[in-house]
Amino acid sequence: MEVTISIDDLHPEKGWGCDGDESVKYLQKLYDEFGCKFTLFTPSYYHKEYPLSKHKDWVKYWLDKEWVELAAHGHYHMCEDSNKHGECEFFEIDTEHKAEERIQQCLSEWDSVGYKPIGWRNPGWLIHPESKKVVDKYFDYVALHNDHNHNMEWESRMFFGHDSIHDTDISLHDGRIMFQSHIAGDWNDNVWNEENYLQFRNSIIYLLDNYDIRFKTLGDITNVKNVIYLINVGELGYTEHTIPLIRNYSEKVDADIIEFGDKEFIESKYPSPNFLLFDIWKHFENSKYEKMMYIDVDIRILDHSPNIFEHVKNFGMVEDWKAPLWRKEELQKWFDKYWPGLECNHYFNGGLQISNKESIKTLNKLVPDDIIDYWRSHPDGKLRSQNQGLINQFVAMSGIDYQALDDKWNKCCRNKPSSDDYFIHYVANKSQIQTDYDCFKDNVYNPNIEMRLDTLR
């Protein structure tokens, strides 16, 4: 589970987030002890007294900490008429023209310290709809308050959730815990004083004891570069065991998950869900992500698996365990019949693929518009492999620089899997997952269960 902690109003004034402040010591301790990460929402010219451009050392102090993200939080934070608008700087600003002017001043302060914040929170939570139009152009995400946002739709990624650091009753927002606080100020009760620090520390200990917790800044969550695609069609009982493990892994390797499900399958009119893979390739080509993994939902990811995105440079798959027995030879026969001269060097299993953008672009050029018509007009005989033959054909034809990955990354359950493997593929008999014949039942390896074909039936 991801946990974010944001802190508002930091600026270069003693007591408001400077080296040596009591509050800052607490943040450092929370990082040292638990690895907590923080998003610091910082006004660029707080109360017309603390311009960032005059406090470069202060900005550097925070930017040097890998566990901290600096984000924007207005320019002055204050209003011309504080009686009327309090500290809601961008609520008082009520025209696009004025908002543009102020945001340019804000960005130029940030620019002067060589840093461009990607996140924003409205000072005093509120924003005028005219100001919102302008602010929305400049940031990748905005941190909002459910009530105070008044149902405005932002182009930027929207984060909701503001459980106080001293709350003991916290809720989930999009599956995450989102703590919010202020660095100081007598008018706030969720500030970083000793009492709140001690309560917060207890909350973190409780969460770490009971959940698999990962600390993230809002920027970390916004800037995810990898994506894991799943095809999950129909009611597959075993996904209740495999998908939670895929979710854990996605958090560990910093990847989003995108599922192609019943809706996509019905719309596609494909004879089998596995042809959705070619839709996934197209989806990825047009996405913001840099690398994708496709993984069958009957693959169990073991907890100790390293980050596969770091192992694959351009494109990677694992050879089918029966390739050397007969499948590679069959594939070559199929190639010879329809694409003479095309050489089959590997016969990959379709259950796992890693790719960067360039490789998928090259592959997509080879995929015909009507993939089913194409598949039917090139019957693959003994292979009877649906998308798997086609994937291999496109990979062989494309000339992309691929890696044949170690079979740890897609170990067929009938091919003597061990606890040294990473991804276990239950292709033989889908009812075997989480049964007494599953040597990885409950994700604990049991060496006494030998997963042979006969024991799996």
CB closer to Zn ion out of 189 and 406: 189
# residues near Zn ion by CB under 5 A: 3
**Least distance from C-beta 297 to Zn ion, angstroms?**
44
CB closer to Zn ion out of 9 and 298: 9
The binder of Zn ion chosen from 4, 8, 242, 437 (CB under 5 A): 8
Spell out, one character per residue from 109 to 128, where the chain touches Zn ion: x when CB under 5 A holds, - when not: --------------x-----
**Least distance from C-beta 94 to Zn ion, angstroms?**
19
Q: Which stretch binds Zn ion (CB under 5 A): 7-15, 57-65, 137-145, 267-275?
A: 7-15
Spell out, one character per residue from 167 to 206, where the chain touches Zn ion: x when CB under 5 A holds, - when not: ----------------------------------------
Q: Which stretch binds Zn ion (CB under 5 A): 4-12, 54-62, 163-171, 448-456?
A: 4-12
The pair of three-digit structure tokens given for residue 193, joined into one six-digit string: 């004083």
**Least distance from C-beta 73 to Zn ion, angstroms?**
6
What gap in Å lies between CA 73 and CA 106, rounded to an integer?
Answer: 9
CB closer to Zn ion out of 41 and 294: 41
Which residue has the closest beta carbon to Zn ion?
8
Q: Which of 291, 285, 275, 164 has its CA nearest to residue 225?
A: 291
Q: By CB under 5 A, tell whether 9 contacts Zn ion.
A: yes
**Least distance from C-beta 218 to Zn ion, angstroms?**
15
Within residues 305-334, the interface with Zn ion by CB under 5 A covers: none
Query: What's the angle, vertex CA 207, arms to CA 201 and CA 213, rounded to 5?
Result: 110
What gap in Å lies between CA 202 and CA 196, rounded to an integer?
Answer: 10
Within residues 336-395, the interface with Zn ion by CB under 5 A covers: none
What gap in Å lies between CA 323 and CA 317, rounded to an integer?
Answer: 13
CB closer to Zn ion out of 89 and 298: 89
**Least distance from C-beta 13 to Zn ion, angstroms?**
14
Q: Which stretch binds Zn ion (CB under 5 A): 5-13, 154-162, 264-272, 370-378?
A: 5-13
Q: Which residues bind Zn ion (CB under 5 A)?
A: 8-9, 123
